[in-house]
Amino acid sequence: MSKQRETKNLGLNRSKDREKIFQYIENVLKIKEKNCSRGNSKNKNGAKFEHIGKNPLPIRNFNLLKSRIDSEGNVIMLSKDGLQANCMACEREYRHRRIHRSKEKYEKSSDEGIYANYKKEYGRLLKKCSMCHIEKEPKYFPISRGMETGLHNTCKSCSKSYSESVGVRWIIYSVDGHNVMNITDKDSCKICNSKLNLHKDHIFPVSKGGTDNEENLQILCRSHNLSKSDTIISPIIKSVNDIKYGMICERYSKILTKAKKEKWDLTKFESEITKEVREFIFLKSKFLLLNKFP
């Protein structure tokens, strides 16, 4: 098992506090809805667009902004309402536009050209790795044409150690199914149709109870795969009715049945299944310590 990434947040479990913080915002601050501010700011990077659709939105359509619960149970927020300014849908759209713009910029550039361009455009001879925090020459970073700089934010050595640790999540989450999907020359990214640096991606995240069944797998390029968050909301999953039973582990199927019957929105479903996944991991770790888990 590779060494855990060292950050200022090491050891902090933000996800378990999410529901408590939302309840605090709703019940104590009396904030039920918020306006998405997308389109109000001037974006110099060519990704300016305006929020489309209902506005204001329920607060659970926004990500929390550095909100947490301290050791004494108090909610700590660094902004007035504890929420990001833009809704999650607009944040995803912004990321997609940024990736598309970067791909167009670097698609015809060689690796050597991208390394040279980084030094010229950003005026830096060194780049700082987001994992080990060591400044290194650009050539020590993997090429990522979907990033604004053309380079990945983690150096090659850290990227390798991270890839080796990914398999650990199958042990932690005890995923149903068997990953037998192979990437062939005929495959391309489901989002941009690129045939370069293809990855197998879980549509319903493993960390939220997703399976290794083929119906839960899709092909994405490296850029689009790494730009995804672990939320269940995606272009494929827009409501609980879009979730197939084969996409989630059987141990959580009762939650999906209840969600479909009672017509839950995705935010509520994600909150409930996240609780169940955490409970499963807790019980599993407890049994493992007692040498009783099969």
Same domain, 145 and 232: no
Count of H helices and E strands in the chain?
8, 8
pLDDT of residue 166: 58
What total of structural domains would you count in the chain? 3
What is the pLDDT averaged over residues 220-234? Answer: 83
150 in the same domain as 162: yes
- Say yes or no: 179 and 285 in one domain: yes
Q: Are 124 and 213 in a shared domain?
A: no
If one counts every other C-beta atom within 10 angstroms of the C-beta of residue 66, the result is 11
Same domain, 179 and 276: yes
Q: Are 198 and 282 members of one domain? A: yes
Residue 68 located in a structural domain: yes
pLDDT at residue 204, rounded to an integer = 94
Is 45 in the same domain as 117? no
Same domain for 113 and 64, yes or no, is no
pTM: 0.53
For the segment 124-173, what is each residue's pLDDT rounded down to a tens digit?
899 998 878 889 999 999 998 888 899 988 888 877 666 655 566 667 78
User: Cα(182)–Cα(187) distance, rounded to whole angstroms?
Assistant: 9
The domain boundary residue, chosen from 149, 166, 183: 166
Of the residues 87, 104, 121, which one is the last residue of a structural domain? Answer: 104
> What is the pLDDT at residue 57?
93
Report the CATH number that the domain containing residue 162 is assigned in CATH.
3.30.60.130
Using DSSP's 3-state secondary structure scheme, residue 152 falls into: coil
279-293 pLDDT tens trace: 888 887 766 555 544
Give the pLDDT score at 168: 66
Judgement on whether residues 194 and 283 belong to the same structural domain of the protein = yes
Say what the pLDDT of residue 170 is: 67
Whether 133 is in a domain gets the answer: yes
Judge whether 73 lies within some domain.
yes
Distance CA 196, CA 154 (A): 19
Q: How many residues does the chain have?
A: 294
Say if 2 falls within a structural domain.
no
Q: How many CB atoms lie within 10 A of CB 90?
A: 22
The β-bridge partners of 212 are none
pLDDT of residue 26: 92
Q: Which residue, of 84, 104, 124, is where some domain finishes?
A: 104
Residue 3 lies in a domain: no
Residue 7 lies in a domain: no
Average pLDDT of every residue of the chain: 83
- Its domain, for residue 127, covers 109-166
**4-8, 47-51, 97-101, 138-142 — which one is most confidently predicted on average?**
138-142
129 SS3 class: coil
Is 80 exceeded by the pLDDT of residue 40?
no
- Per-residue confidence (pLDDT) for residue 139, from 0 to 100: 92
> Based on the domain organization, do 162 and 182 belong to the same domain?
no
- My answer on whether 70 and 57 are in the same domain is yes
Residue 240 or residue 234, greater confidence: 240
In a domain, 4, yes or no: no
d(CA 241, CA 247): 12
User: In 3D, which of 166, 171, 148, 172 has the Cα closest to residue 202?
Assistant: 166
126 and 26 in a common domain:
no
Write the DSSP symbol of residue 83.
Answer: B
How does pLDDT run across 83-127, given as a tens digit for each residue? 999 998 888 888 888 888 888 899 889 999 999 999 999 888 999
- CA distance linking residue 232 with residue 259, whole number of Å: 14
- Residue 132 placed within a domain: yes
